[in-house]
Amino acid sequence: MGDNRLMIKVTVNDRLYELQVDPELRLVDLLRDELGLTGTKEGCGKGECGACTIIMNGKTVNSCMVLAFQADGSEILTIEGMGDGEELHPIQEAFIRQGAVQCGYCTPGMVLSAKAILDKNPNPSEEEIRKGISGNLCRCTGYQKIVDAIKDAAEVMGGGGDER
Amino acid sequence: MKKRGVGIASVMFGFGYGEGFPDHSTASIRIKPDGRVEVKTAAADVGQGVLTVVSQIAAEILGVPVESIDLVNGDTAVTRSSGSTSATRQTFFTGNAVMNTAQILRSIIFDLAVKVYGKTYPELYFENSCVVPHGAEEKKISFAELAKIAAERGEKLEAEGSYFPITTPPDPSNGQGERVYVSYTFVTTIAEVEIDLGTGQVEVIRMVAAPDVGQAIHPQNVEGQMEGGSAQGIGMALMEEILFDEYGTLLNPNLSTYLIPTSLDVPRMQTVIVEDEEPLGPFGAKGIGEPAMISTAPAIINAIYNACGVRIKELPATPEKILRELKKLAAGN
Amino acid sequence: MGIIGFTSRRLNEALQYLHQYGDETTIIAGGTDVLVKYHERLDELHRVLNIWQLEELKSIRIINDQIEVGSLVTHTQLEDSTIIQQNAPLLAEAAGSVGSPQIRNRGTIGGNVANASPAGDTLTPLLALDASVKFVSLDRGEKVVSLEEFLVGPGRHIMKKDELITALIFPIPKDNTVGAFVKLGYRKALAISTVNAAIMLGLQGNLIEDCRIALGAVAPTTKRAKLVEELLQGQDVTKSNTFEILGQLEKDIAPISDIRGSQQYRTDIARELVTQGLQKIVNKEVGRSGR
Amino acid sequence: MKGNIVGHSVPKVDAKAKVTGKALYATDLYMEDMLYMQVLRAPYAHAVIRKIDLAQALAVPGIVRIITKEDLPGLKNHGLIFKDQPALVGIGEKVRFTGDTLAIVIGESNIQVRKAIKKIKVEYDKLEVITDPLRAMEEDAVTIHTAGNIVCTHKLDKGDIVRGFMEADLIVYNEFKTQHVEHITLQPDAGLATLEEDDTICIWAATQWLHDTRVDVAQAMGLPVEKIRIIQPAIGGAFGKREDIIAQLHLAIAVREVKRPVKTIYSREESIIATSKRHPMIFRFRTGVKKDGTLTAWEATVIGDTGAYASSGPAVVHKGLYHCTGPYDCPNVRGVAYTVYTNNTYAGAMRGFGATQTAFAYESQMDIIAEKLGINPIELRLKNAYQVGSTTPNGQKLYASVGVKETIIKAVEAFERLGGVIR
C-alpha cells in the first residue's frame, strides 16, 4: 500500500509534522495509531457520537469523518494540547470540580466541544451550551454536570457566566 | 397544539446478588514506607466513582487526606475478588470491605503506637497521616516514621479484610425467604412532559428525583448517578428500541438508527437526596447505581397519560405510537 | 493496490482529474457522507478526489438578484451567514438543524445536494427557494439546472461522473415573501428527519399570491407539493379552509415505511408539519424573507 | 453518618487522567509486534453450519491465522449462569443468533483482517427463526437448545392470593411490554492479550468482574485458572454489558495460537449485534384493591426473552417477578416468571436487571388503579408504601432504612418548589 502514500504537513498541538499517509487512513487513525495521541477516542466511526472530536482550524470536527490526507495544511488541537504541560486548562479543572466525568470516554471530545463553545461565546447560555455539545453523546452523566462545568469554566475564564 | 402533564413513579430495588448467592468483597490496605496509604481492591470503577468512595472511606478511618491514598486497580494477579460492579453493590460491599479492612489496620497501627508511646488506644487518635497522643500533640508520629519503626521491628502495617453478608435462598416453590436481599434502595421521580398533539412528540421539560441512599458518601456522585440514570430512563421511555426482523436480523445496529438522548433531549433535573440510614451500610450507605434509572420511564409514561389520556403499555412511547393512540381517542375509541 | 488519493487546490485541476478518472473517482469534501457510506470498507474505493481545499467554492455572494452559495459552503457557514439569515432564514434554520456542530462544520451544501438523500434537510428549503444547481465539467462547461430536475431518485441525480457541483443559486425572495422550515426527528440533535418541510409564501396581505412547499422523506426525492401549492393560490392564510386544503397533501407524496416511521405516520406528519409551518408564518414566528 | 471526608464531594480520583486523555482504555493499548483480530459472525440467526471455506481469506496479504472450531475440539461453552454459549460454532453445529462466531481472523492490520473476513464463504441450512418468546413457548416450536426453549421458571407465592382477590373491591388486569434496549457503552468492546513466557494469558479488557471473567475464560479453554490473568484498563461504560465475556475468550484463543500480542476493537455495529441487550419482558398483572386504595392481591406472569443464550437471564427475569409490587405492601402475591430462548441477540444484565422493566409495569398499573378508584396517585402510593415492618413479595420483613414515603414527599416538595403543579 506504500505506493500510494501522500505527503502531508499538519500541525498538531503546535507541533508541525511532515508525514506520509495512506489515502485510506482516517484522521482519527493518524492521531491515535501513528502519532500516539490516544486521548482522541473513537466511538462509532460514523460521526454519530462525537467521541473523536478534535478542533481543526478552529472548528470542531469528528476526526473519524476526515481522511488524514485531507488534513494537509491544517492546524489541529487534540485533548493532549489542552492545558499547559502539567497545568490543566480551566475547562478541564471545571470538569473535575463539577463531577462531569464518569466513564470518561466522551470526555476528551466533550472538552474540545466545550472549548469551541467558549471560543465563540465566552458567556454562553445553557441553551447554547447544550446545542454546542449536542454532537457529543454521553451515556453516563445525563449531560447536566457537563453543562455545569462549561458554565463554571466560563465564569473562571472571565466570561461572567449565565445565571443558573 | 401542545399539552402538558405530570407523572410520578416510586420504585424499590433489592441490591446485592441476594438470594443466598455467595456475595462478598475483599480489600487490602497498607501503609507504604513513605507514609502514603495503599488501597487494593478489584472493584471496577466504570465511572460511577467506587474508587473515590473507597478512598474516602479509607481516608476517613485512617485520618489521612484523600490525596494520600494510592489505589491499586483490578488485576487478578495482584488483587483478590471484590465481586462485580453490578447489582448496585460496590459502595455497600467493597465500601464495607474497605471499612472493615481500614478498621483492622487502624488497630494494627494503634497496637504499634501503644508500644511506642506506652499509652492505650483511647489515648491516641489519627490526624493528617500521623498518630497523635491526646494532650501531647507534639509527640505525634507520622505514618512514614511508623512504617520505618514497623519495618525495624519486622512488623507490617497492612491488613486484609472482607465483607460477606448472608442472604437467604428463596424457597423454589414460592419464592419466600427471610432475607432475600441485603437491603433496598428507594427512588421517586416526578416528570413533567409536553406533548405535541399533532406529531405525538414528547418533550420532558421538568424532572425531580428523590433517592433514599441511606447515606451519601459522595453527594455529587449520587447526583451524577441520578442524572445519568434518568437520561437512560428518558431514552428507554421515548426512543430506544433494538428491532429485529422476522429472520432475526438486527435492523438498527448504529447510533443513527438506535437513538439515545443527546444533550438537547435531557432537561435540567433536580436530585433531592434522602438519607434514611441503613445500619449495615458503610457509614449508613446504600447503593444507587441501578435504581437511578428505574423510576424515570414510568414517571414519563404516567405523565404522558396525564397530559393527553394516552396510556402507553408497550415501550418505547414513540411519537408514532402516541399519535396513533391520540387518533383512536379522537375517534371515540 | 490500495486506493489513490488526490487533493486538488484549483477547480480546473479538479475538473481535469475528473475528466481523466471520473468513472473511478469518488469525490470527497467534508466527508460526512462518504465516510459513513464507506465505513470499514474504504479499501473498496479506487480513487478519492479531495476537493475540501478548493477555496474558490467556499463563499456566499449576492450577484444581481440572485444568491450564489458555493458548493463547499458548510452548514455552519449557512447558519451563521448574514446574507442567508436576512434573505432565506429558512435555509439558515434548516442548516442549523442538521446533525451536530461537528457535522455542520464539515458537511457542505454541495455534498448535501450530490448525496440526494430523500430526507436531506437543506434540500427542502432549496426547493422552496426555487434553487438551481450549477455544475461544470472540463469539456462541456457549465450547466445550470433546477434542483427539482437535478434530483431523480434516492441518492441519484442527473450529473455525470466528470462533473462537479460548484454552486447553488436561488433568486432573492421578494419583499412580500415569508418562509418556514419544519422538521420532525426522533430526537433534537443528530437526527435524520422522519419528515421535513419547507414553505415559501408570497403574501398580499393575508392572501397567498405565490406558494412553494417542499417536503422531505415522503418520496424517493425531496419534492414539491405541486397540487397543494396550486390549491393554496389565492387562499387566505389565516382562514381554516386553507388548512383543510392540506388534507390533499397525501396526493402529492408517496412515503414508504422504514425505521424512522411508517407510511401512515409520514402521511400524517407531512400534513401536520406543513400546518405548523403555515401557523408559524401566520403567527409571525419566522423572520421575513426577502430584502 | 457524615464524617470529615465521608459525605463530602471530593474530586473524583480518576477524573484527572480522564480529562487529560491520559487514561488508557483497552482501545488505547498498543504493543510491538501486535496483531489485529476480528471475527466472522453468523450469516443467519438460526442455521446449521455445513461448510466454512477459508481459502480466499487466507490468501489476503497480512493474514496470519484463521481459527475455527475445528482447530479447537476441546473448547467448552461459556456463560454466566448456564454454560450454553459457544465461543466458536463448528461444522454441523448450530448458530442461534447473528452474533455467533464462526471464525477468528488474525492479521497484521485491521484493514487486512476485515478484507479477509469478507472473503470467507459459509454454507448453511436455515432453520425456523424464532423472534417472539410467546412463539418459543409453543409446543410445536423448533427448539433452540436441546433442553427446550424455556430456560427456567420461577415462582412466587405469598399469603393467600384467592382470599386477596375476594377481599378486593376492584380487580384490574393489564398487560405491559418492554423492548430490547442496548447499553451503548461509549467505548465499543475492545481488548488486548499477550502470551507470557510461562504460558499465562494476560488480557486487558474492560470487565465488571475480572475474577469471574478469568474463571469463565479458563474453564472454556480447559486451562488452570492461574494461567489466565485479567487486568482492568479504564472502562468506557458498562451498565451490565461488561459482565458477559465479550472479546476476552476470542483474544485468549488467538494469543495461544499465534503467540504474539493480539488486539481487537469491535465496530459499533458489531458491538450492537453481538453483545447483550436488556431483556424485553411481558408482564401480565392482575391486581386486587379495596375502595380506599389498600392493595389486597397481586398476581403476576412475567415472560422474559433472553435471546439465543441465557447469560444473566435466569436471574434478571425472576428479579422482575420478585419486584412486581414495587415499593408497596401487598399481603397476597402470586406469580410465575419464564425465561425463554429466542434467536434474538442474547439478553443479559443491564442497569436495573429486570427491576427496571417491572417498574414500568407496576407504576403504570398503580396509576390506572388510582384513576379507577378516583384517588390521587400520590395518595395511593403513600397509602401502600413500605414502612418498617412491611414484607416484600419474597416475604422479607424490612427492618430499617425504608425511606420510600420520604422520597415521595421530598420529590413532591421539590417539584412544587420548582414551580411544578401536580394534576
CATH architecture under which domain C57-171 falls: 2-Layer Sandwich (3.30)
Given a cut of 50, whether residue A161 has pLDDT beyond it is no
pLDDT given for residue C284 in this prediction: 81
Please tell me whether residues B105 and B217 are part of one structural domain. no
Place of cell 454441523: D92
Give the C-alpha separation, C13 to C3, whole Å.
19
**pLDDT, tens digit (0-9, with 9 covering 90-100), for D110-158:** 999 999 999 999 999 999 999 999 999 999 999 999 999 999 999 999 9
| Residue range of the domain that includes B78 | 25-163
Give the C-alpha separation, C85 to C260, whole Å.
30
pLDDT given for residue A163 in this prediction: 42
ipTM above 0.90? yes
Q: Label residue C289 by pLDDT band (50, 70, 90).
A: low
**pLDDT, tens digit (0-9, with 9 covering 90-100), for D299-333:** 999 999 999 999 999 999 999 999 999 999 999 99
Given a cut of 80, whether residue B53 has pLDDT beyond it is yes
Chain A within 8 Å of D345 (Cβ-Cβ)?
no
Is the bond preceding B267 in cis, omega lying within 30 degrees of 0? no
**CATH class entry, domain A2-81:** alpha beta
pLDDT given for residue A109 in this prediction: 98
CATH architecture under which domain D32-127+184-267 falls: Alpha-Beta Complex (3.90)
Rounded average pLDDT over D252-270: 97
Nearest CA in chain A to C30: A66
Per CB-CB distance under 8 Å, the chain C contacts of D109 are: none
Task: State the pTM of this model.
Answer: 0.97
> Which residues 6+ apart lie within 8 Å of B223 measured at CB?
A99, A144, A145, B271, B273
CA distance D166 to chain B (A): 21
The answer to whether B87 and B16 have CB atoms below 8 angstroms apart is yes
The answer to whether residue B168 sits within a structural domain is no
CATH of domain A90-156: 1.10.150.120
Please tell me whether residues B115 and B134 are part of one structural domain. yes
CATH 3.30.390.50 describes domain C177-282: yes
**pLDDT, tens digit (0-9, with 9 covering 90-100), for B72-126:** 999 999 999 999 999 999 999 999 999 999 999 999 999 999 999 998 888 999 9
* Catalytic residue numbers of B, as ranges: 290
What is the helix (H) or strand (E) element at residue D162, kind and residue range?
Answer: helix D161-166
Q: Label residue C290 by pLDDT band (50, 70, 90).
A: very low
Chain C within 8 Å of B78 (Cβ-Cβ)?
no
**pLDDT, tens digit (0-9, with 9 covering 90-100), for C207-217:** 999 999 999 99
pLDDT given for residue C288 in this prediction: 54
Give the C-alpha separation, B145 to B151, whole Å.
10
Classify strands C141-146 and C132-137 as parallel, antiparallel or unpaired.
Answer: antiparallel
**pLDDT, tens digit (0-9, with 9 covering 90-100), for D43-87:** 999 999 999 999 999 999 999 999 999 999 999 999 999 999 999
Chain B within 8 Å of C253 (Cβ-Cβ)?
no
Percent of chain B at pLDDT > 90 equals 98
pLDDT given for residue B333 in this prediction: 62
Per CB-CB distance under 8 Å, the chain D contacts of C41 are: 114
Q: Which of C3, C50, C188 has its CB closest to that of A24?
A: C3
Q: Which of A32, A42, A88 has its CB closest to that of D19?
A: A88
Given a cut of 60, whether residue C99 has pLDDT beyond it is yes
Please tell me whether residues B186 and B121 are part of one structural domain. no
- Do C273 and B264 count as a contact with CB atoms less than 8 A apart? no
Nearest CA in chain D to B242: D180
- Chains B and C form CB pairs within 8 A to the count of 47
- Do A48 and B229 count as a contact with CB atoms less than 8 A apart? no
Chain A within 8 Å of B263 (Cβ-Cβ)?
yes
The answer to whether D330 and D219 have CB atoms below 8 angstroms apart is no
Angle (CA) D350 D356 D362, round 5°: 160
Q: Which of A32, A43, A78 has its CB closest to that of D187?
A: A43
Mean pLDDT of chain C: 95
pLDDT given for residue B27 in this prediction: 98
**pLDDT, tens digit (0-9, with 9 covering 90-100), for B298-323:** 999 999 999 999 999 999 999 999 99
pLDDT given for residue C40 in this prediction: 92
pLDDT given for residue C112 in this prediction: 97
Please tell me whether residues B69 and B189 are part of one structural domain. no
CA distance A72 to chain B (A): 29
Q: Which of D12, D111, D185 has its CB closest to that of A101?
A: D12
What is the DSSP track for C147-194? HHHHEEETTEES--TT-EEEEEEEEPPPTTEEEEEEEE-SSSSS---S
- Cell (9 digits) for A101: 466525568
pLDDT given for residue C1 in this prediction: 58
What are the residue boundaries of the structural domains of chain D, listed by start?
Answer: 32-127+184-267, 133-182+277-417
> Looking at this protein, which amino acid is placed at residue B222?
V
B-interface mutation test, from D10, D24, D298, most B Cβ less than 10 A away: D10
Q: Label residue C287 by pLDDT band (50, 70, 90).
A: low
Please tell me whether residues B212 and B73 are part of one structural domain. no
Chain D within 8 Å of C43 (Cβ-Cβ)?
yes
Give the C-alpha separation, B119 to B104, whole Å.
19
Per CB-CB distance under 8 Å, the chain D contacts of A97 are: 11
> Angle between the B90-117 and B143-152 helix axes, to the nearest 10 degrees?
70
What are the residue boundaries of the structural domains of chain A, listed by start?
Answer: 2-81, 90-156
The answer to whether D207 and B75 have CB atoms below 8 angstroms apart is no
Nearest CA in chain A to C187: A134
Q: Give the torsion sign (CA, B90, B96, B99, B102).
A: negative
CA of B299: how far to CAs of A144, B302, B312, D298, D360, in Å?
19, 5, 12, 21, 8
Residues in chain B: 333
Chain A within 8 Å of D351 (Cβ-Cβ)?
no
Q: Label residue B332 by pLDDT band (50, 70, 90).
A: confident
3-state secondary structure of A46: coil
- Do C184 and B259 count as a contact with CB atoms less than 8 A apart? no
Classify strands B25-31 and B158-163 as parallel, antiparallel or unpaired.
Answer: antiparallel
Domain tally, chain B: 2
Burial of D17 (0-12, 13-18, 19+ CB in 10 A): middle
Q: Label residue D423 by pLDDT band (50, 70, 90).
A: confident
Given a cut of 90, whether residue B175 has pLDDT beyond it is yes
pLDDT given for residue A25 in this prediction: 95
CATH number (domain holding residue B276): 3.30.365.10
Q: Which of A69, A72, A134 has its CB closest to that of C100?
A: A134
Please indicate whether the domains covering D32-127+184-267 and D133-182+277-417 agree at the CATH topology level: no
Per CB-CB distance under 8 Å, the chain D contacts of A83 are: 20
pLDDT given for residue B153 in this prediction: 96
Q: Which of D158, D235, D418 has its CB closest to that of B206?
A: D418
**pLDDT, tens digit (0-9, with 9 covering 90-100), for C4-52:** 999 999 999 999 999 999 999 999 999 999 999 999 999 899 999 999 9
Percent of chain A at pLDDT > 90 equals 92
Mean pLDDT of chain D: 97
Burial B259-289 (b: 16+ CB within 10 A, else e): bbbbbbbbbbbbbbbbbbbbebbbbbbbbbb
Give the C-alpha separation, D145 to D346, whole Å.
13
CA distance C261 to chain B (A): 7
**pLDDT, tens digit (0-9, with 9 covering 90-100), for A4-56:** 999 999 999 999 999 999 999 999 999 999 999 999 999 999 999 999 999 99
Given a cut of 70, whether residue A1 has pLDDT beyond it is no
Beta strands in chain C (DSSP E): 4-7, 25-28, 47-50, 60-63, 66-70, 132-137, 141-146, 151-153, 156-157, 164-171, 177-184, 195-204, 207-216, 223-224
- Cell (9 digits) for B38: 495503599
Given a cut of 70, whether residue A2 has pLDDT beyond it is no
Closest-CA residue to B181 (of B100, B81, B98, B92): B92
Per CB-CB distance under 8 Å, the chain C contacts of A45 are: 39-40
pLDDT given for residue C260 in this prediction: 93
Pick the CATH number of D133-182+277-417 from 3.30.365.10, 3.90.550.10, 3.40.50.300, 3.40.50.720: 3.30.365.10
Give the C-alpha separation, A26 to D111, whole Å.
12
What are the residue boundaries of the structural domains of chain C, listed by start?
Answer: 4-50, 57-171, 177-282
- Chain D residues interacting with chain C (CB cutoff of 8 angstroms): 111, 114-115, 267
pLDDT given for residue D361 in this prediction: 98
Q: Label residue A86 by pLDDT band (50, 70, 90).
A: confident
Rounded average pLDDT over B127-140: 94
B-interface mutation test, from A62, A143, A151, most B Cβ less than 10 A away: A143
